[in-house]
Structure 1
Amino acid sequence: MQSRVVLAVEEGKENGISSRTNQSKALPLRLLKLLVLFLALCVAFTVISIYSIKHFGIQNLVTTVNSSFQPCYDEEPTGLERYIKPPSNLIHNMSDPELLWRSSFVPRIKKYPFPRVPKIAFMFLTKGPLPLAPLWERFLKGHEGYYSIYVHSLPSFQANFPPSSVFHNRQIPSQVSEWGRMSMCDAERRLLANALLDISNERFILLSESCIPVYSFSVIYNYLMRSKYSFMGAFDDPGPYGRGRYNENMFPVVNITDWRKGSQWFEINRKLAINVVEDTTFYPKFEQYCRPACYVDEHYFPTMLTIEAGNMLANRSVTWVDWSRGGAHPATFGGSDITEEFFKRIYEGHRCLYNNRNSSVCFLFARKFAPSALEPLLHIAPKVLGF
């Protein structure tokens, strides 16, 4: 009985071994079949691809798609254009020291190797809106390419000029400026520095929101471009509001005999504009020692330019103001003041030197005009102002 059990067990072992052997032989056979099937599919796919490329031009299609790829960045100009093309956007992230340094670049060769049309840079120093903008729009119409506009306002003010306006996107990065303090001169230097970035700007006129032109654009353009001098008042006032504001701590950089006073509203050429932005000699003295009742915007530029380039100053302003009413500020004119008789006060009875010759044309701009003067000015401009 025991031998039968042993025999059965041994027969079971043999059958199990035989079954596993048959399964091992079957497994490679299945893998071989799968491999053959895969190779057949690859061959078939290759044949179909070659046939499609040959008869349907898929290769040309792929080539076309690849050749139409465009980089996602704008290529910077590598020629002369990068140096002479004015910035299309006046907003930048330069600090004042960086801006002044950048704008002080001067070419050593005087002859320009490209056609250069000299332009006037109209620089508006204002707290916010430009209520007389429509008058300036009319004045500048048709003279594109002969002027540039720069506006320095309070940093919080956002202008809303339409794209068609000459003032659209013409605000520069600004800071708060206070009348009579160095921050006012900082604003003026900031305007000059931004305007100097356009190599075509040749004459630079500082204006307020209350200023108007009193001649046509052509008359003003020719008057400034043909002038041998820049128009900044710089006179020696021996009284308390002149030399009386001098601080002896400014010596020897500034001597009292060099101390000058003049109007804040100046017009200067490119050479003097560069003198202003590159100054690091006089600026610290005025910043430290000319504080109210020394009003730095009346003394810094007149004194510094008298020392640096006094022979280039006409020693007068081309912006008319009326001080006849007295007080710390000139008279302001509203709508009821705008008459032909009023403008005779600006045009007549004045004598000045222009290129060392006597002239009756002494003022090109006037201030201060209130917003209420706009409509009367637009009405009278064609007949009286010439535009």
Structure 2
Amino acid sequence: MFLTTTPLPFSSLWEVFFNNTPKNLYNIYIHADPSFNYDSPFKGVFAHRVIPSKPTRRYSPTLISAARRLLSRALLDDESNYMFALLSPSCIPLHSFNFTYKILVNSKKSFVEILKNEPGAYHRWAARGKDVMAPEVKFEDFRIGSQFFVLKRKHARIVVRDSRLWSKFKLQCVRRDTCYPEEHYFATLLGMVDPQGCVTATLTHVDWRGGHGGHPRMYLKEEVGPELIWNLRKRKPRYGIEGSNGSDSSVTRRRDPFLFARKFSPDCIKPLMTIANDVIFKD
């Protein structure tokens, strides 16, 4: 599931990712903000995959709405859809389709970052006003996590059916500097409803060192090469608390690999394509 406001800059890389893969093993869904101009239509495996979309805006609940819209469409479109991966246009795959597919379909849990006691958590919780989130979302239940997740079907249904927490998260913030609803809603909802059913980590690598303005570091074309891909593969996700009491020792035992990475500048496509077959898709 791609959530984008631009043409997909790495569509040719994803084409290779899906190349020669049986069509019944995957579906693609694109939420393309209609207020942006798309120079060329989505082609290849992306042709006719754009769902009815609405404008999205940072510092607002519209990014949550877009993700819920993608999940709803994917749930209704194909009952065999088992795992639902949300990606951005700046995401690239770090492994072959076969490697990625096996990791996901063999998992009995969703992968969603659920972090407790993060710096600034109270101000994020109170971004709509003091105590506005209560009683539906108490501060002690508030969680923070990556916008990008992989949900199993059970949790996708929980998200699209939710109205109780959504009634709070869809409210507009009064403090923009702490308003990142898409980093709070999914982590809080699933952390409250079924933490034991989640691996509390994202499978999309991101580097916040050197980030600015709420945006992570962006990789440039000069950095792209085999060493970068190998280094990203070596890194391990950061895990939150598994289970309601935080005593699950499986957190330290897990060795889940990153399957995707962001944020890459659009001009990285050429060097990425150069190493696609011999590095990225060679497991």
Band the TM-score falls in, shorter-chain normalisation: 0.7 to 0.9
Q: Deviations over 1:203-237 (max 9, x none)?
A: 00000111111011111111011112211111112
Kindly indicate whether residue 21 of structure 2 is the aligned counterpart of residue 154 of structure 1. Answer: no
1:279 aligned residue: 162
Equivalent residues of 1:184, 1:297 under 8 A apart: yes
2:7 aligned residue: 129
What is the CA-CA distance between 1:289 and the residue it aligns to? 6.2
- Indicate which of 84, 96, 107 corresponds to 1:216: 96
- Indicate which of 205, 210, 219 corresponds to 1:325: 210
Structure 2 Cα separation of the partners of residues 153 and 275 of structure 1:
24
Equivalent residues of 1:180, 1:296 under 8 A apart: yes
Kindly indicate whether residue 228 of structure 2 is the aligned counterpart of residue 342 of structure 1. Answer: yes
What is the CA-CA distance between 1:359 and the residue it aligns to? 4.8
Structure 1 Cα separation of the partners of residues 50 and 93 of structure 2:
20
1:43 aligned residue: none
- Paired residues in the alignment total 262
**Residue identity matched to 2:105:** M
1:79 aligned residue: none
**Residue identity matched to 1:154:** D
**Residue identity matched to 2:47:** H
What SS is found at the alignment partner of 1:204? strand
Structure 1 Cα separation of the partners of residues 172 and 125 of structure 2:
8
What is the CA-CA distance between 1:264 and the residue it aligns to? 0.3
Say if 1:194 and 1:342 are closer, same or farther in 2 by CA, change over 3 A.
same
Structure that is richer in helix per residue: 1
Kindly indicate whether residue 112 of structure 2 is the aligned counterpart of residue 229 of structure 1. Answer: no
Q: Deviations over 1:269-315 (max 9, x none)?
A: 00000001011111111222655323111111111111111111111
Q: Deviations over 1:114-169 (max 9, x none)?
A: xxxxxxxxx0000020111010001001112100001111215455244xx10011
- Indicate which of 45, 48, 57 corresponds to 1:178: 57
1:383 aligned residue: 278
- Indicate which of 123, 134, 146 corresponds to 1:244: 123
Equivalent residues of 1:352, 1:362 under 8 A apart: no
- Indicate which of 128, 131, 145 corresponds to 2:24: 145
Q: Deviations over 1:256-276 (max 9, x none)?
A: 110100000111100000001
Kindly indicate whether residue 193 of structure 2 is the aligned counterpart of residue 308 of structure 1. Answer: yes
What SS is found at the alignment partner of 2:116? coil
Using the TM superposition, name which of 355-364 and 278-287 deviates more.
Answer: 355-364
Structure 1 Cα separation of the partners of residues 186 and 237 of structure 2:
25
Kindly indicate whether residue 143 of structure 2 is the aligned counterpart of residue 260 of structure 1. Answer: yes
What SS is found at the alignment partner of 2:20? coil
TM-score computed with the length of structure 2 as normaliser: 0.86
**1:70-149 aligned within 5 A:** 123-143=1-21, 144-149=23-28
- Structure number with greater Rg is 1
Kindly indicate whether residue 253 of structure 2 is the aligned counterpart of residue 358 of structure 1. Answer: yes
* Uncovered stretches (5+) of structure 2, i.e. residues with no partner: 240-248
2:246 aligned residue: none
1:168 aligned residue: 47
1:298 aligned residue: 183
Structure 2 Cα separation of the partners of residues 285 and 349 of structure 1:
35
What SS is found at the alignment partner of 1:155? coil
**Residue identity matched to 1:383:** D
Say if 1:349 and 1:274 are closer, same or farther in 2 by CA, change over 3 A.
closer
TM-score computed with the length of structure 1 as normaliser: 0.64
**Residue identity matched to 2:199:** A
Equivalent residues of 2:61, 2:171 under 8 A apart: no
Higher relative contact order (CA 8 A, sep 6+): 2
Say if 1:237 and 1:352 are closer, same or farther in 2 by CA, change over 3 A.
closer
Equivalent residues of 1:233, 1:302 under 8 A apart: yes
Structure 2 Cα separation of the partners of residues 161 and 255 of structure 1:
42
Structure 2 Cα separation of the partners of residues 130 and 348 of structure 1:
26
Structure 1 Cα separation of the partners of residues 173 and 197 of structure 2:
25
Structure 1 Cα separation of the partners of residues 261 and 143 of structure 2:
23
Using the TM superposition, name which of 286-295 and 131-140 deviates more.
Answer: 286-295
Kindly indicate whether residue 66 of structure 2 is the aligned counterpart of residue 187 of structure 1. Answer: yes
Say if 1:277 and 1:349 are closer, same or farther in 2 by CA, change over 3 A.
closer
1:206 aligned residue: 86
Q: Deviations over 1:321-362 (max 9, x none)?
A: 111113221111222111122123212253778x94835442
Equivalent residues of 2:235, 2:258 under 8 A apart: no
